Structure 1
Amino acid sequence: MSIEIILSIMDRLEKMHKSLLKLAYNKTEFIKTGDMDGLNQLLKDEQSHVAAITQLELQRQQKVTDYLEAKGIAHAEHATVAQVMEVANNPEEHFKLDEARKKLLLAIETLKHQNELNQKIIFQSLQFVNLTLDMLRPRPDQINYSSNNARGSNNSKENTYFDSQA
């Protein structure tokens, strides 16, 4: 069995992750400008990308498992490309797999950082909204902790903030 199928799937996975990364960059701009309609459409596009990546990842796992079984390696629960690299027949196959793996990992790492940035921007936006709402809410005229108000009596005692007899 050849590693070409595995390499092809990994190449498609890399392209899908790079496409998802472009969406993440666009998401940053939509968040900054507050374009909710654009953000909603982008989220739908992201979901379709994630579904396609999931399918490709399942194919990759199956092909890696098939390759390892063809080489006489016991079936692993989660077969990895690193395992294929260990049993690769020649240095050229090992090199190609290593390069494809590095490219894919770089795309995934970059996507992870961009998503973390987007998450921080959203969190800061929410903090700003909460701060603005707190500033706009009416505040009580006076907070009074006196025992007169607590008991509901109408004695004309001096209004204090703290009742020392409590």
Structure 2
Amino acid sequence: MSIDKILHSLTNLNMLHKSLLEIAYKKTEAIKTGDMDSLNQLLKDEQAHVAGISQLEQQRQLEVTDYLRAKGIAPIDNPTVAHVLENTNTEEEKEQLSTARKQLLLTLETLKNQNDLNQKLTFQSLQFVNMTLDMLRPKPDQINYSKNEVKRPSKDKSYFDSQA
């Protein structure tokens, strides 16, 4: 059995992850500028990409399972490309799979780093908003409505000057 289907799945997964990486870059800019409309649209696009990636990943797992079964290897819970690499006979196929796998892993690592940056930027933005709100909100210890704090005119003093 050939590895062509697995290679095709890996190539498609890499393309979708690169597209997701572009969305992550755009999200960074939207977070920096505070463009909420753009950020909302990017989040919707991101969800669509994640759904597509999930479907492709399921397809890749089926293809790897089918390949391993064809080689006479019992199916496993989470079949990976590394299992295929261990059981591939030709060096050419090993090289092709290894290259496609490395490209996907590199894209995934870059995407992870960009998402970490976006998470940090979002956290900083939330901290700034909370700090601003804290500055505008009165502190609980500044508001005191106890009876001894309320100033009332004494009975001896009058605010009306009768001699005027």
TM superposition score category, shorter chain reference: 0.7 to 0.9
SS in 2 for 1:118: helix
Alpha-carbon distance change, 141 to 77 in structure 1, aligned in 2, over 3 angstroms: closer
Aligned residue pairs: how many?
Answer: 148
Residue of structure 2 in register with 1:99 after alignment: 99
Query: Which amino acid in 2 is paired with 1:31?
Result: I
- Residues of 2 paired with 1:153 and 1:54: CA distance? 66
Query: Which amino acid in 2 is paired with 1:112?
Result: K
Q: How does 1:11-26 map to 2 (within 5 A)?
A: 11-26=11-26
**What's the TM-score, normalizing by structure 2?**
0.85
Q: How does 1:34-49 map to 2 (within 5 A)?
A: 34-49=34-49
- Residues of 1 paired with 2:70 and 2:142: CA distance? 79
Residue of structure 2 in register with 1:119 after alignment: 119
Alpha-carbon distance change, 130 to 153 in structure 1, aligned in 2, over 3 angstroms: closer
Q: Which runs of 5+ in 2 are unaligned?
A: 150-164
- Residues of 1 paired with 2:38 and 2:142: CA distance? 43
CA RMSD of aligned residues (A): 1.8
- Residues of 2 paired with 1:2 and 1:142: CA distance? 76
How many Å apart are 1:89 and its aligned residue? 1.5
How many Å apart are 1:47 and its aligned residue? 0.5
Q: Does structure 1 residue 131 correspond to structure 2 residue 131?
A: yes
Residue of structure 1 in register with 2:90 after alignment: 90
Residue of structure 2 in register with 1:157 after alignment: none
Stretches of 4+ aligned residues off by more than 6 angstroms: none
Percent identical residues = 63
Residue of structure 2 in register with 1:160 after alignment: none
Residue of structure 2 in register with 1:53 after alignment: 53
How many Å apart are 1:141 and its aligned residue? 3.6
Structure with higher Rg: it is: 2
Q: How does 1:61-76 map to 2 (within 5 A)?
A: 61-76=61-76
Alpha-carbon distance change, 66 to 141 in structure 1, aligned in 2, over 3 angstroms: closer
Query: Which amino acid in 2 is paired with 1:93?
Result: E
SS in 1 for 2:26: helix
How many Å apart are 1:84 and its aligned residue? 0.4
How many Å apart are 1:137 and its aligned residue? 1.2
- Residues of 2 paired with 1:6 and 1:119: CA distance? 33
SS in 2 for 1:138: coil
Q: Which runs of 5+ in 1 are unaligned?
A: 144-148, 155-166
State the Cα deviation string for residues 31-80 of structure 1 (Å, max 9, x = none): 11111111111111001000000000000000000000000001111111
Query: Which amino acid in 1 is paired with 2:129?
Result: V
